[in-house]
Amino acid sequence: MSTPPVVVAVDGSEGSLRALDWALAEAQLRTAPLRLVHVRQYAAWPQLQALVPEPPEPAEEPAEDRVLARVLTSLTGRDGLPEVESRSLEGDPAQALPELGAGAQLLVLGSRGRGGFASLLLGSTGMAAARDAACPVVVVPRSGREVPGAEPAAPGPRVVVGVSVEAPDDNTLDFACAAAARHAARLEVLSLYPWPTYAWTAAADFTPTAEDKEAAQAATSDQLDEILAPYRQSHPELAIETRVSDGDAAGHLVAASQGAELVVVGRHHRRLLRPARMLGSVTHAVLLHAVSPIAVVPPGIEAAETAE
């Protein structure tokens, strides 16, 4: 049985070349083949409807893909290359890229922030891939991005993962543990506990105290330790650190992305009243603002069916 590839989308842009470098290193760590894919975009069908009688059919392997030729040439002479293959497709990237995840162990994209929103990491095509792909999706940002006011982390490589103690996702934690082990990094687990941002002062109303806050933090820490116990047992070589805080989960994850090897977040489970795939507000915000590579992990089949 062949090993599923690490797939990287390339278009010749600086962002896609950064993604290529990251995907190449990851394929080497995974001992997996690397598949380069270039999607040559046609205009959306609604815009063409008045001009042609039928929607264009995506055509695989169009001739003379100069982008792929240049990218493949750039790999010439590199040491330790994994098996490299390439595919050229025509179609809508927002549809074609998620479909590539069906046969991949990882889909890697570069950041595509636009115009006056230079602080935003990802464009609509990348969001569609992160939301819809069947495999984990990694987005690689441009270098030099910083989180204003982020506190320096302890030295050494680290992988960061966000965990909700109310709804932990095994797929996300499994991916994060494996990533930390591959990168010889410690795993930093962030979890947030709910806490009101205001106090009620009217007569007979409850006003949370500092002791109440400490109790909420301790209870969340205990739940998190219970969730992580099997992972500590199955990965005894892995240093797993926990950080429990109140406040904005996305803000904490974005701040923790400064200097991280990878930030790992889960994708929302589909639910009966919301059957469409959704990223979730925290994952969406992290994709827009984090400064390290971000991995978005889809939920497991069992978890998704339970949520539905």
Same domain for 17 and 125? Answer: yes
148-166: average pLDDT: 89
187: confidence class by pLDDT, cuts 50, 70, 90: very high
Who has greater pLDDT, 77 or 197?
77
Same domain for 171 and 125? Answer: no
* Whether pLDDT at 275 is above 60: no
Same domain for 207 and 121? Answer: no
Please give the structure tokens belonging to residue 115: 């115009």
Within a domain: 244: yes
Same domain for 167 and 268? Answer: yes
**3-state class of 259 per DSSP?**
coil
pTM for this entry: 0.83
* Whether pLDDT at 266 is above 60: yes
226-255: average pLDDT: 93
Within a domain: 148: no
d(CA 172, CA 177): 9
* Whether pLDDT at 84 is above 60: yes
- pLDDT at res. 42: 61
Same domain for 136 and 157? Answer: no
* Whether pLDDT at 129 is above 50: yes
156-180: average pLDDT: 95
Same domain for 306 and 176? Answer: yes
Please give the structure tokens belonging to residue 233: 């047992």
Same domain for 201 and 307? Answer: yes
The last residue of a domain, from among 96, 112, 143: 143
140: confidence class by pLDDT, cuts 50, 70, 90: very high
**Average pLDDT for the chain:** 81
Within a domain: 221: yes
pLDDT in tens, 106-121: 999 987 654 333 444 4
Same domain for 38 and 71? Answer: yes
Same domain for 210 and 304? Answer: yes
Same domain for 67 and 212? Answer: no
The edge-to-edge listing of strands for the beta sheet with 34-41 is 84-91, 34-41, 6-9, 106-110, 137-140, 294-297, 262-266, 158-162, 186-192, 240-245
Show the domain range for 235: 153-308
pLDDT-above-90 percentage for the chain: 44
Q: Which residue has the tokens 């971000």?
A: 294
- pLDDT at res. 296: 95
Same domain for 44 and 193? Answer: no
Strand partners, 271: 274
Q: Are 79 and 47 in contact (CB under 8 A)?
A: no
The CATH number of residue 24's host domain is: 3.40.50.620
135: confidence class by pLDDT, cuts 50, 70, 90: very high
Within a domain: 23: yes
Strand partners, 266: 297
Report the domain count for the chain.
2
Lowest-pLDDT range of 36-40, 44-48, 95-99, 275-279: 44-48
Within a domain: 238: yes
* Whether pLDDT at 214 is above 70: yes
83-89: average pLDDT: 92
The last residue of a domain, from among 143, 171, 190: 143
- pLDDT at res. 21: 94
Length of the chain measured in residues: 308
d(CA 270, CA 267): 9
pLDDT in tens, 19-48: 999 999 999 999 999 999 998 876 444 444
Within a domain: 51: yes
277: confidence class by pLDDT, cuts 50, 70, 90: low
Same domain for 129 and 168? Answer: no
The last residue of a domain, from among 123, 143, 163: 143
